Structure formats: structure tokens, C-alpha cells
Structure 1
Amino acid sequence: MNELYQIPYEYSKTGDITIGEMTTQFDFLFDTMSFCEHPQTAVVNELMAMTKNYQHVLSLVFAVNQINKNPKILPNISLGFHIYDNYLSARMTYQNTIKLLSSDNMIVPNYNCERQNNLIAAIGGHNAEISLHMANIFGIYKIPQIAYSILAPARNVKIQLPSFYRMIPNEANQYAGIVQLLLHFQWIWIGVIASDDDKGEQFLHTLLPMLTQHGICTPVIEKTLTLSDVLENPETLETLHAITFSIINSSTKVFVVNADPQTIACLKWLIYLYKQLEDIIQVSIGKVWLMTAHWDFSSETFHRDFDVQVFHGALSSAIHSNEVLGFREFLQLLHPNLPKGDGFIRIFWEQAFNCLFSDSNGDSENSNTCTGQEKLENLHGTHFEMSMTGQSYSIYNAAQAIAYALQQMLSSTIKHNSGRLDPPNFTPWQLHSFLSSISFNNSAGDFVSFDENRELAAEFDIINWVTFPNKSFLRVNVGRMDSKALLEQRFSINEEAITWHSSFNQVLPIALCNDNCHPGSSRKKKEGEPFCCYDCVPCPDGKISDQKDMNDCFQCPEDEFPNKNKDQCLPKVIIFLSYTEPLGITLAFVALSFALVTLWVLGIFIKNQHTPIVKANNRDLTYSMLISLSFCFLCSFLFIGQPHTVTCCLRQIAFGIIFSMAVSCILAKTITVVLAFMATKPGSRMRKWVGKSLANSILLNCSFIQAITCAVWLCTAPPFPDFDMDSLTEEIILECNEGSETMFYCVLGYLGFLAIVSFTVAFLARKLPDSFNEAKFITFSMLVFCSVWLSFIPSYLSTKGKYMVAVEIFSILASSFGLLGCIFFPKCYIIILKPGLNNKDQLIKRNNM
């Protein structure tokens, strides 16, 4: 059977075992078949070389040469190869795939007569469609096929294509990495460009839900046309204009591009069209192009003059690659006349260097003559690279994987058969079990193995493309994305190593619907706008936001408070009534002064203890009351300073018991006066109650009741040091928690009860003769005492922190001084300044008046 199409571009080398490859070097526009005559080649347009893809051929040649020279791999067995082109055509792919399975120069399926090359596996193709066309044929014969296509040709490759392998990580890892990259730079207002075909639809169907799920909006989604669509339908020119202006004039600064060759070719046409329409020679579009792993920065020969700086600063995911030792030297020795059987090199050489060989049948208008001495390193990177590209690296690894699998298969066969197996007797299906489980370190030091889906178990690199005016470029590895790594290691990027487009002045580009919400505010969705558009509203009182674009403000921890800008939490200051501050010093000084005054009064009374004014109204009760008042003043010191467990327990207990003793003394003095006057009446039975025993009994019993109440308080719910985090915004109050407020108010209530009883008795006895009782003074002193403590309760409840303590100290000092001043200062006045009135005759005289 003769071939349907005679396009003589192939490269072969004989060996004991043959590896086939289907590469993509050239592109033709074929005429459609009419089936009215015998099928033959009918090319509509001239051959268009993809010069950069020639490295795909050379990487296999280089790998096979390395394997054949390595005595540790396949000893005594030579590898050969047979490379065909698919011309981006389904019918040419099927034809050349069958040729790999047929006898030389003949297409005879299932017939191996006089066949010399023993095909063990095949590598290819460049894209999903070509890979699927090949798999339809190779799958029938169970021949292993290792593809280097970015997209899988089927949804469930392992089940639908059981003989198919991919030297590429799963594209889902790539999409997840792209989303992580966008989120890392906070790019949430982006455009998406894909081809208007099944590949583009699949790309959009996979990526767009992931973007939405992570809060990324896509206001611009454009589908590019193919070159054949434009040539076949001139009306699409208006569509191209609309797409061009949508992309170029959009406020969107970041575009994610499904960078298959078809989409990139159209994107270049769009940029060229924009320059022509706007009559611009140099255009600075100022976009961040985020390319998928298809992108290899190649340029067709007819785009030789394309301004590559449009893509300056672009980012792309890329198949992980490494520098392979010896590959650059291998390329430097390449000469168009040296490789025997290479049907690709001459056309590559002519189109890459824009020249013609003297014996070429090409366009005679081209005056440049190829000498064969041209240097590959002088070519622009868009046409050819000296370092191995990601796709070439995949082909290199595929050849190595086949060799290592063959080595294991040989070892297993020899072990079981105790002899040498002749290579022609190998069958491709035997290789599957060894190939699927293969794992090795290649010559570049990278670990190579397939995962459970027969895809390369590896990560994607993040590449930053830096272009130069001379149309050269630099490929900078700035990060990686690996979905199978630990969570914190799945995505990494070095921002400092990234070069952005010159229009951004090396400042991180912003891709937002509106300006960032600064710390101290949160986002609020705009009605009727995409969810990425929002207003910024200040944080409410008590809350902060410490990052840009936060959805909600949050409360500070209990021991911190928001600063004025509501973008930071500041530590609260712990406060208490301290001896080091003016208020504490003043109260301590006053308390000490009043205590000394009380002791001074006590001294005066002791010194004049035998005078009538001291002896009247029970001298012992007077001494007890003065001592109690001095302790009342001194107990103020328990309220000043940092609260501790001991001071918290003592302050209220001491206050309650001491004040109860002082008030009990007043009550006892008042009752004694009343009983004394009642006992002076003839026939009164009260005489037996008059004496020190009654006064002492009143003092001890009244104080004992308060002591019992305090003891119960200490045993059930004693006071303790506590931090009040909530009462004040910027401060933490270190205070004494009363433990049981009920017991606290019981102590105060009992004290108030004693005071009211004392006031009542004194008030009733106020008209008794002044010379023998102090009822008027007690009445007035208790009026002051009750007024102070009645005003204490609302003041105490309405203040916070150290001022609450200060209110209680002030009440203690004021009430105590009221008792001291009202009861004892008039007597001191007589004792010191009017000693003549302090005698028995004066008292009798005043009594008779």
C-alpha cells in the first residue's frame, strides 16, 4: 500500500530496539479532501517551521546517544529511534503512527515482513489531540506511549488509555498553583484568555470555578480565534478588533493565558493588530501575563520582528527542568551536513537563520546563503535555546525511563530464564509492569517516577521571563508549586527575584476592582457589583483590622485594646491605687495625719483623765473609741498599694470590725447616758444596769456579731486579687474581688444598722443637760457618719478602678474624722483653751442654771 501523503521529514537511526517519537516541527494548511480522486498531498500554504521545537528531536537523539554510551544500561543492546512529524494534522498523525508500526516505506498494518526496527515504545505528542490520535493506534497493540502534552487527552487516562503515560505532572496541580500565585500577590481582579475550542472550554471549565471559590473575579474573559478561522472568514476581523481593545484597554492588569501555541499565536496577532490600528511603533501594553505550562516563549519565523518586550516580566508555570551535562556541547557540534538521516535539520537551519542552502529549492528572493557555519547560540531565544527546555527535558526523561524499564525487564527475564533473551523477541506489552513502577535519578540528579495515574510525580516551576531589546530573554526560576508536598511547602516564591514589566517601575502590580482597604477598616460589598468590588468602612469601636482588605474586624484580646487608628492592639496598663501616684500619696498622708491627731487627742485625754469632762460619760469607752478611730484611719493603708491575697482579705474585714467597735463605743456611751439619767429618778430600777459592765457588754457583743459575719465571709467566699479586663478600655484594673457581694453588703448593712441605732438613741437624748452628756455631739457626729456612708454607696457603684478604692478610703477618712471632730474636738477645746470650765463647780453651776 502506498502512502497517502509524501512529506519527507523524518529522522531515524537503527538499533536492536527502536524508540519512536511523534514530534511537532512544521505546520501546513492542508486542502480538504473531496474523495473525487485518489488522495494525495495538497498543501494550501508553504511550510511554517516551529524552530524551537527542533530541540524536541535533538533531546531524544542526545538521550539515545547517552544510553548507548553507558555500559551500565542495556549492555550489548543498542537503542535506535525513528522520529516523524505530525504537522498538527490528525490524518498525518495517524499515517505516521501507522508507519512506525509498518515495514519501511510501506503502510501495511499488522505486517512485519523484513522489518528491521523493533519498536518497543513511543514518545509523543506535543498536545492532547495529537497524543490521543497516537493512543488510538498504539493502544490496540499495547505499545507504551509516553506523552509530553500539558493537558491529558482523556479525563480518566489510566482507564480509558491503559497504554498511555505522561512525563508531565497532573494539570490540576498547575491550576491550584496558579490560584495560589494570584492569592499570594492579592490579584483578585484578573482577565482570562483561552482558545475558542474544546481545549479552551476545558481550561475555563476547570479554572473559573477555582477562581470564584477563592474570591477571584474575572471581569474579562476572551476566547481567541485560530489563524485558519481568520483566513477562512474575513468577517472575523471585527471580532478580532473587539477582542484586541477589550484586552489592551481593559483596566485589568493581570491576564491568565492558556498558553497553547494556538492561543499565543492569536495573542501576538492581536498585539500586532493593535499596533497597526493605533499606528504605534513601540507599544507598552503594561500587563502581567500569567501563562500556563504550554508557554515556551517560542516565535514562528514569520514573527521574527515581533516585539518580545511586550511579554517582559511575564510569569509562567513550567515543567520542572534541570541542566543536563553535555547537552550544550552536543548542540555546539551540530552541523547541517553531519547528522545522517536527519530530515529536519536543513529546513530548520534555513528558517532559523533566515537563509537558503545553495542547492535548496526555496524562495530565490532570499539573498542570504546558508554556510553551515552559523552558530546556534547566536539565535534569539524565541527561535532556539541552548539550554534544555521543559518539554525537551520531558522527552529526555521519557527515553531514560524506557531504557531503565528495559534494563529491569532484561534483568528479570535473564533471572527467570537463565539465559540471554534476544531483543527481537521483546514484546512491548511486557514493558508496562516495569515502566509503571520505574524510579531512578537521571543524569541531572532529578528523581523520576510515575504516580498512580501514570503521570510524572513532580512539581511545576514558576518562571519569570525577562526580555531584552535585542530580542533575547532570560528564564528565571522564582518558585515552585507542588500539590503533593506538605501544606506549608506546596507553594513557594521569591518575590525579590521577580522582574516586572517596565511600566510598573518594579513595583508589585495591583489587580483589584478598587483600592485596598487599609488596616483599621474592613470590606463591605457594593450592591450590584461583582463580589471583588467593595467599599471600605472603619472598624467599630473595640475592634481592629491589622491587614489590608480584611472582610471583618476582630476584637483585641482581653489584655489589649485598639489604638487610635484601629489597626493595632496595644497592651493594657495594669492600674491600682499606688503609693507612687499623687492620689495615693495624698490619701496616705491624710490617713496618717488623722491617726496622729487621734493619738494626740488620746494623749490629751489620758493626761487629763482625772478632770470632770474626761471622767464624764465613761472614760474607758472614750479611750476605746479613740483607739478604734486611730485604727480606722490606719486601715486605709490596706486599700493603697498592689492588692495581694492577704491585703484583700484584711482590708474589708479590718474595716468592718474596727468601725463596728467605734460605732459600738458610741452606742454604749449613748445608752449609758440615757440609763444614768433614768437611774437618777426616785425609785428607779435602772440603777442596777448603770456601770461599766453594761457598756463593755454592748461594745463586745456588737463587735462580736460583726466579727462572726466577717469570719463566715472568710470561710465561704473570701476576697481575692482579680483583674478587671472589661470596665476600662485601655487599662486592666487590679482590684480585690469581694468574693461574695452579699457578705460585703451584710457587713456594711450591719455597720449602718449600728449607726442608725446610735443616731436614734442620741437624738432622743439630745435634750439632757449638756454638762453630763454628749448626746448632742453624738447626734451630729452620727448624722455626718450616716451622710457620708449613704453617699458612699452610689459613688462606689458609679466609679471604676483605683477611683473606686479612693472613694472608699475617702469615706473611711471622712466618717472617722466626723466622729473625731464632732465628739472630741469640743472637749479638747475646753481642756486646752478653757480649762476653767473643766471643774466640778462649773459643771454643777451649769447644771443648776
Structure 2
Amino acid sequence: MEISALFIGLILSLGLCELNSALALNGSGDGLIQRAGLTKHRPGAGVSTEASSVKCKLQGATRLPAFSADGDYVIGGVFSIHRYKHIVKHNYTNIPEPIRCIGSIDPRELRLSHAMVFAIEEINNSTDLLPGIKLGYQMYDSCASVPVAVHAAFQLSNGLDPVFDTSDNCSQSGMVMAIIGESGSTQSISMSRVIGSFDIPQVSHFATCACLSDKQQYPSFFRTIPSDQFQADALAKLVKHFGWTWIGAILSDSDYGNNGMASFLEAAHKEGICVEYSESFYRTHPRSRIQRVAEVIRRSTAMVVVAFAASGDLKILLEELSREPSPPRQWIGSESWVTNPDMLRFSFCAGTIGFGIQQSVIPGLRDFLLDLSPTEVAASPVLTEFWEDSFNCRLKKTTDKSLCDGTEDIETLQSPYTDTSQLRITNMVYKAVYAIAHAIHNVVCRNTNSTTRCDKVTRSKQVLAELKKVNFSQNGYDVSFDANGDPVAKYELVNWQKTESGSIELVTVGLYDASLPVGQEFRINRNLTWMEGDTQVPVSLCSDSCPPGTRKVLQKGKPTCCYDCVPCPEGDISNATDSPDCFPCPKEFWPNAERDTCFPKPVEFLSFNEVLGIILAAFSVGGACLAIITAAVFFRHRSSPIVRANNSELSFLLLFSLTLCFLCSLTFIGAPSEWSCMLRHTAFGITFVLCISCVLGKTIVVLMAFKATLPGSNVMKWFGPPQQRTTVVSFTFVQVLICTIWLVVNPPFPMKNLSTYKERIILECALGSAIGFWAVLGYIGLLAVFCLVLAVLARKLPDNFNEAKLITFSMLIFCAVWITFIPAYVSSPGKFTVAVEIFAILASSFGLTFCIFAPKCFIILFQPEKNTKKHLMNKNQN
């Protein structure tokens, strides 16, 4: 409200001068002029209407410049030499007293103002730049205050004379060619809005707000310091470079801080950086506000604090933090304070890193700054105040301090004013003066016959046009402006490092050049020290990094940098730190135990090298050997009654088929192949049908033999050996036909089973046609049931050696095995499916072998007395 009221008042008192003078020249508008606070002076008693006699008078008191010098062209300057302004409470009944600057003098700002004087005098002594032209200057102290800066801008636009002639144009009578300043972005914004309407160029040495690049709003604004947009991007890359994702942010509650931090937060968000808190403050805020910000920093968990603040503001906060012990924090600074030597006294901020303007050397500047004569000091209130504060004495006798005795030597003064070891912002002022001088030179000077001739009449609008085109080099520093009035962004990365004596010094450890390609702008070429003198990069994370094998899950209601680490689900991996997602392994791969790498799944099949495979193979070979041995026993005793009575031909064929049944189980062991898959199922089906056909033939023979003993029976001639062979061949041929059709239409084939087990691959034989497989099994089952029925019918025939009972028992075992095989086969996983099938083959084969041939072999080998026809006939008779 205060700023707006002053701004309107200044427009009424200063900006309307030209309009009211014009009305006065036309003989009208008297009342308007009087209402605006302006009076017309008429010589003599009468009223003159001649334009030449009309004068304009400024309302109110003018503000005197801190430093000034006459010249052909005057350059204005506005610097924050004092840190504060005297706040007056208006009663709106009396005219407010002029705003006064209070507080201590900022030595660095005083040095900047004298650097401007040095550059102007250097140009005035030059024979190449503006020869024969003398530049003057008018410098104002803004007290870092917007109202004072705006007041200074109006005075630089209209001049200092309280009464001036309107015959030309009152607004042009004292107009400067250009203005250098202000140091702060907020003040520069307010000034630019005023002087932009008059086409007066403004070149700032320290206003970095990115908003000032908007030429629609600030058409006459230029700067020799890079925009905060470049610095914000550089700071975000710096924070990301050291792996900090959890930071705190503090900022000046001004255009510089608000806009700079907004740009930084946007860049930080793109880099995946989260902000725990963002606190703003200003030097004029009550102490309670500063204490609250300090307490937020103390309580925070973020170890890194990014401060986008003016040095005058941050100084107050650091003083508050120094009153009570605070947890160590890693400070990241913007160039406005991180290179300020006055800030190095805060030892608890050792290790601070940030970006600063490049160091420079200005020959002769130090001698100029030290060349302060007592007369010059006494003539300037600002220098007098600086001198008295620096040496703690008074130039005029007072009661509170001793009188300066003349022995004070400024060369022995340790002050930012005399410190020219790291000229940064000072060089920005130096370049700004030369940029304006070159623009004026390009307007007023012409080269004729190897000589330069310069006129002494020009307007600020022409200087503004030429300033956009300047491109020169001074002391090795290039000076030019882009379309937005900005220079090329180059920064030094600086680090606050403790010396052996315990003091803090500013060390350049890297560079940042925004003109280089993306990814190459930033480099570090020296070792850094961190908070508390540590050489290890501090860690500032909301959550620890998630190791490979886990993924990040955001914590509800917290920033994206706060998360929990959740192990990847089964079958998925993450092979990077802080992975947001897990991804599945390829089809034939599986994660390791840590779930950070995919390995090929182990291949599993029933192998001859494993225990189960060896056991089943042993039983298979043992069963085949048993069948062969039985056949050998039968062959050795083929003429014995017991062998002859039990149809020796079918018995030998049955033993042969049982041998094949035992051996066919071997085809189920080992890695499946196309041939083994086709062979194992067809061989199993055919050999078992051959076996059941033989058993069925023997059962029919027993029944027919009983029928043949009846009087008048002629059955055996219809079921003799030829018919028995035909029966076996016919039944077996049907199975061969089924298997052939199966193999032709859709044969079994090897496949990788990936669904039964997720973590391994099962090599198995796919059935091809399930109908074919179940047709083979169904046919075997049909013959087995038929055989069982016949055997049951013949189980009570009065024959000591008839096999009906043995066949009945063997077929019961056979059917029981294969009935239980079906659910076991369907439910068994992986290689155990094959093992179940082999077990069923072996169990049924052993059942047939033992039930049918074991009793006969026992009699043949151990009870030969019973292997006689007489014994056979006696038993039959019984």
C-alpha cells in the first residue's frame, strides 16, 4: 500500500510535468496545473502568455545523489549502499518527511558504486572510446527499498532542478542516457516499469530474476549478470549430481527469491528432487518470523538446504541460527550471497557450495578505491559515514566517539570495500558502464579519415537501440546481450573451505557454462569439503535407496522421494537401484534369490543320472531279466507235464511280451526327443495288448479245455494252436492300427512345460492327440476287463494246474493298477507324471509275471515230485 501511494504521488508530481506544461503553453489548464501542485511563474505583475516565460516547478523535495559529476552525457546509478530505510508512520495530515536511509553501510555496494566511477573516469581518459566526450554520473542510494529506488528513477528521468524551462520539454531537461542498477531484482523491476516508458536503458549488474527477461514488460532492461533461470537449472543439476533428493528451501520474500526459487523448484522436480519445506522471509519481517524459519531448519530431516536469498536477508537468518546450536546442514547458495565475503564469518556454514559469477581482474581498481583523501571523505556524507564506522571515530567532534586524528590508513582496513581479490559483481558494474559507453559511442561518433568525431546531442532512445547490438571485449571479458537483454551464462562453482587458521575462504572448484552442449555444461576440477569439514559427500534422502530386487512404493501423503522398498513379486526382477517397477523375466528365465538377475530356468526330466531314474531303470531291467529267466526255466522243462499242461506256446509268447513291457519303460527315461516320444507310447500300447492277448488266449484255452472234457464235445478243434495265434495277432493288430492312426494324424512330440512349475522347465512328451492316447489305454483296458470276466468264470474249474485262478488274481492286480494310474497320472506334476506311468507299467508287468508264472516255477524248481502226470491226474480227479 505504501509503495503504491508513493508511486502514484511521484507520477502526479513528476510524470505530469510535460502534460501540464503543454497545457500552460496553450493558454489553458491553469486549474489542472494548480491541482497537480505545479505553479506558473509570471515575470512582473502581469500575466504573460509567452511560452518562453513558463516555468515548471517540482512538488516536494528532491533526493540528492550520493555521488555525482557533471558531463556531456550523464549515466545514472542506483545502489543499495544502506541496508534499511527509516519507516515513517503517516498521519495523513502533514506532508510526509523524506525517506531516510538508516543502518550500516554495505561495503560491497559502496565498492560497486566506486567501480562505476572508476569505469567512467577510465572512459573519459580514453582516446578510443568517446573521444572528446565527458561522461558524468548521478548515483543514488536506494536503501534496498522499492519506494526509494522508484523515487530515484523518477529523478533520473526528469533531472534535479527544482525550477526548469518548459520551452524544450521539461521531461527531457535532465534525463540521463542510461541507468546502472539496481542490485536487487525487486527494485530493478519497479525502476524498469518507470523508466521503460521513457525509453531509458537500464543495465543491472546484480538483478537476476528471470522475469526481467520478458521484453513485453521490461523493454529497456539489460543486465550483465546471467538470469536466475540458468542458475536455477545449474543448482538443480548440482543437487542431482551429488545424489541429494531430499532438501529444504529458503528464499527471500522478494521478486529475486520468489522467482528464483520457483525456477529452481521446477528444475528440481524434473530431476526427481523433493522439497521437505519451503520458507520465505525478508529482512524487515519481525524476529518471530525469522525464528520460525530457523526452527523449521533445525527440526527438518533434510540435510541439504538450498538458499535462494539476498545476502542481507540471509545474514539475519544465519545470525538467528547461530544463537542456538543447530544440527549440521549442507548449505547450497545462490550467487547473491555465496560469494559475499561478509558472509564467510558464519563458521557453521563451512562446506557451503554454490555458484558465483566468474572472478575477474580490473587493473587499477584497487588503487582507485584506496585513493580517498580526507577532503573527499568529508565532502560526502556517505563516505564520512563509511569512514567513521570503519575506524570507529568521528570526523567532527562529538561526545560518543573520539575524533579521527588523521592516522587512519584505509590500506590497512580489512573490509569488503578494499577486498579486490575476487572481483565478481564488481566486474558486472564495470562491463555495464562500458556497454553503455559503447552504445553512446555508436550513436554520436563517426569515423572520418582515420579520426573519430563525436557529437554532443543524442537521445536515450537511440542509445537503447544501439545497446541491443553491442558486442565487444574489455579486459578479456566479452560483453553482448541476447534478444532478452541477457548475457551468456557462465558460473564458477565455489566452496567454503576452512583454512589451517580456522577461517573460511572461498575456493573455486568447478565451472558451469550454459552455452555448452547438454550434459557438458557442468564440471568439477577440485576436491570439495563438506559440512563440519568432512570429505565424504553427505547423504540427504527421505528414504534409503531401494536395492536391486525391490521396487519403490510411495508413502501415502508424502512426496515422491519418500517411499518403502517392496521386494519384487515372484518371477519379477529389478536390476537397478531405486527402480520404480519390477519387470518379469523372459519366458524361459527365472530370477535368482536376490531377484536382481534373470537366469535360465533349470531343465528337468526323468534322467538316468538321478536316483528315481536309476531305481526305475533297475526294476525295468530286473523285470526283463526275470521274464527271460522264467522263459529259460520253461524252455528247460518244456517237456514236463506242468509246462505242457499250461499251453507252452502261449506261455512263451506271454513271457516275450512281458519282457518287452519291462523294457519299454526304459523309453520313458531320458530327455524326450521326437523318436522317443513316438516310441514310448506306441511301444507301451502294442506290447501290453500283446501281453493281454496272450493272457486272454490262455483263459480261453482253459475254458475250451473244460468244455472238451464233456461227452460229445468237439470244441478244441475250433480253438487249437492256429486259432490261438490268430486271436493274439488280431487283437494286437487292432492296437497297431490305433497307434498308426495316432502317429499319422497327431503324434506325440517333445515340449517344454513352462506352466507346471514357474521356476523350472519340464521336458516332457506332449500327447499330440489326447484321443489317440486314451484310445490306446482304453483298448488295453477293454481287453483286460474281458480277460478278467473270462478268468472269473473259469476260476472254479476242477484242474490242479488250470490258470484261471492265477489269471483272475493277476488281472485284478492289473486292473487295480491302471485304474489308480489315471488320477495319479493326471495329478502328478512334471517328471513324476512319467514316473507314475513307468510305475504302472512295471507294477502290472510284475503282477502278471508273479501271479501266472511264479507258482509253476516254484513247483518246477523246488517241488519236482509234483511235476508228474500222475500227480496232475490225481489232483484233477480229486
Alignment-mate amino acid for residue 505 of structure 2: F
How far apart are residue 779 of structure 1 and its match? 1.9
| 1:134 equivalent among 183, 187, 191 | 191
Cα distance in 1, alignment partners of residues 404 and 745 from structure 2: 108
User: Is structure 2 residue 315 aligned with structure 1 residue 265?
Assistant: yes
- Alignment-derived partner of residue 684 in structure 2: 655
- Alignment-derived partner of residue 289 in structure 1: 331
How far apart are residue 817 of structure 1 and its match? 1.8
Cα distance in 2, alignment partners of residues 333 and 684 from structure 1: 149
Cα distance in 1, alignment partners of residues 481 and 492 from structure 2: 17
Distance 1:579 1:42, change over 3 A: same
1:235-314 → structure 2 map (5 Å cutoff):
236-249=286-299, 253-272=303-322, 274-275=323-324, 283=325, 285-298=327-340, 300=342, 307-314=345-352
How far apart are residue 386 of structure 1 and its match? 2.9
| 1:691 equivalent among 702, 716, 720 | 720
| 1:501 equivalent among 531, 536, 545 | 531
- Alignment-derived partner of residue 619 in structure 2: 590
User: Is structure 2 residue 73 aligned with structure 1 residue 9?
Assistant: no
- Alignment-derived partner of residue 785 in structure 1: 814
Alignment-mate amino acid for residue 611 of structure 2: P
Kept in 2: contact 1:671–1:761 (CA 8 A)? yes
Give CA deviations for 1:117-140 in whole Å, capped at 9, x if unaligned: 994x76544332222233224423
- Alignment-derived partner of residue 766 in structure 1: 795
How far apart are residue 30 of structure 1 and its match? 4.6
Give CA deviations for 1:326-370 in whole Å, capped at 9, x if unaligned: x2776677662299x999999599679945899899975678955
Alignment-mate amino acid for residue 497 of structure 2: V
Cα distance in 2, alignment partners of residues 31 and 54 from structure 1: 26
| 2:421 equivalent among 386, 395, 401 | 386
User: Is structure 2 residue 795 aligned with structure 1 residue 795?
Assistant: no
How far apart are residue 182 of structure 1 and its match? 6.5
Distance 1:587 1:48, change over 3 A: same
How far apart are residue 264 of structure 1 and its match? 0.4
2:210 match: secondary structure: coil
How far apart are residue 78 of structure 1 and its match? 10
Kept in 1: contact 2:591–2:598 (CA 8 A)? yes
How far apart are residue 160 of structure 1 and its match? 2.1
Cα distance in 2, alignment partners of residues 59 and 630 from structure 1: 114
| 1:754 equivalent among 774, 783, 791 | 783
How far apart are residue 545 of structure 1 and its match? 7.9
1:345-494 → structure 2 map (5 Å cutoff):
354-355=390-391, 371=409, 373-374=411-412, 384=419, 386-389=421-424, 391=425, 450=482, 458=489, 464-468=495-499, 470-475=502-507, 477=509, 489=519
Kept in 1: contact 2:132–2:454 (CA 8 A)? no
Give CA deviations for 1:33-65 in whole Å, capped at 9, x if unaligned: 989999997635255124278469759978998
2:207 match: secondary structure: coil
Kept in 1: contact 2:396–2:403 (CA 8 A)? no
User: Is structure 2 residue 691 aligned with structure 1 residue 669?
Assistant: no
1:753 match: secondary structure: helix
Cα distance in 2, alignment partners of residues 646 and 344 from structure 1: 110
1:151-170 → structure 2 map (5 Å cutoff):
151-153=209-211, 157-165=214-222
Alignment-mate amino acid for residue 226 of structure 1: R
Query: 477-486 or 797-806, which moves further after superposition?
Result: 477-486
Give CA deviations for 1:305-328 in whole Å, capped at 9, x if unaligned: x74222123344x36x5565xx27
How far apart are residue 267 of structure 1 and its match? 0.5
Aligned residues: 805
Alignment-mate amino acid for residue 286 of structure 1: P
Distance 1:585 1:435, change over 3 A: farther
Kept in 1: contact 2:179–2:200 (CA 8 A)? yes
Structure 2: which 5+ runs fail to align? 1-56
Alignment-mate amino acid for residue 315 of structure 2: A
Give CA deviations for 1:151-170 in whole Å, capped at 9, x if unaligned: 2346x823222344556666
1:159 match: secondary structure: coil
Cα distance in 2, alignment partners of residues 422 and 703 from structure 1: 124
- Alignment-derived partner of residue 193 in structure 1: 250
Kept in 1: contact 2:699–2:791 (CA 8 A)? yes
| 1:631 equivalent among 645, 656, 660 | 660
Distance 1:11 1:421, change over 3 A: closer
Give CA deviations for 1:518-558 in whole Å, capped at 9, x if unaligned: 88888888889999878888888777888888888887776
Structure 1: which 5+ runs fail to align? 230-235, 276-282
- Alignment-derived partner of residue 815 in structure 1: 844
How far apart are residue 286 of structure 1 and its match? 1.4
How far apart are residue 805 of structure 1 and its match? 3.1
Distance 1:142 1:242, change over 3 A: closer
Cα distance in 1, alignment partners of residues 136 and 734 from structure 2: 111
Alignment-mate amino acid for residue 336 of structure 1: L
Distance 1:82 1:7, change over 3 A: closer
Cα distance in 1, alignment partners of residues 828 and 127 from structure 2: 90
How far apart are residue 29 of structure 1 and its match? 2.4
User: Is structure 2 residue 283 aligned with structure 1 residue 226?
Assistant: yes
- Alignment-derived partner of residue 641 in structure 1: 670
Alignment-mate amino acid for residue 680 of structure 2: R
Distance 1:242 1:133, change over 3 A: closer
User: Is structure 2 residue 857 aligned with structure 1 residue 828?
Assistant: yes
Kept in 1: contact 2:673–2:750 (CA 8 A)? yes
Cα distance in 2, alignment partners of residues 534 and 544 from structure 1: 18
Query: 776-785 or 594-603, which moves further after superposition?
Result: 594-603
Give CA deviations for 1:235-256 in whole Å, capped at 9, x if unaligned: x445555554444355554444
TM-score relative to the length of structure 2: 0.71
- Alignment-derived partner of residue 278 in structure 1: none
1:588 match: secondary structure: helix
CA RMSD of aligned residues (A): 5.9
1:226 match: secondary structure: coil
Identity of aligned residues (%): 30
2:321 match: secondary structure: helix
| 1:51 equivalent among 108, 112, 116 | 108
1:60-139 → structure 2 map (5 Å cutoff):
84=139, 86-87=141-142, 88-90=144-146, 92-94=148-150, 97=153, 119=177, 124-139=181-196
1:503-582 → structure 2 map (5 Å cutoff):
506=536, 508-510=538-540, 512=542, 573-582=602-611
User: Is structure 2 residue 877 aligned with structure 1 residue 848?
Assistant: yes
Cα distance in 2, alignment partners of residues 58 and 402 from structure 1: 15
Kept in 2: contact 1:679–1:690 (CA 8 A)? no
Cα distance in 1, alignment partners of residues 575 and 763 from structure 2: 28
Cα distance in 1, alignment partners of residues 744 and 471 from structure 2: 75
1:289 match: secondary structure: strand
- Alignment-derived partner of residue 85 in structure 2: 29
Kept in 1: contact 2:767–2:773 (CA 8 A)? yes
How far apart are residue 433 of structure 1 and its match? 8.4
1:295 match: secondary structure: helix
How far apart are residue 637 of structure 1 and its match? 2.9
Cα distance in 2, alignment partners of residues 524 and 686 from structure 1: 86
**Higher radius of gyration, 1 or 2:** 2
- Alignment-derived partner of residue 280 in structure 1: none
